[in-house]
Amino acid sequence: MNKMEMIIEEKIYFNPGDLVKVRHKDLANVPNMYVVEKITRNITTKDGNTDNVFVGIRCRYFDTNQVLREAIFSTKDLEHVK
């Protein structure tokens, strides 16, 4: 694949306090959620170096029973609520 064939996507950033929802339109009862924090993990490689690896975005929301829930989502699965 050459450079002309690559699809350029605009990077979307999520900040604490942003309102988001799950991007998948086929799901019923998709709640609005708010971003709590970005989750990363430190991983030590075989040669002893430590790498900081992005895991996902921690969000809080109320489920259909009005119970406060918290989950980590991939940025690819989230979109901003307008």
Q: What are the angstrom distances between the C-alpha of 53 and each of 14, 38, 39, 50, 57?
A: 17, 11, 9, 10, 13
Predicted pLDDT of residue 3: 55
Q: Which domains does the chain have, with CATH numbers?
A: 8-80 (2.30.30)
Q: Among 52, 46, 60, 49, which Cα is nearest to 16's?
A: 60
| 11-48 per-position pLDDT tens digit | 778 999 999 999 987 888 899 999 999 999 999 988 98
Predicted pLDDT of residue 29: 84
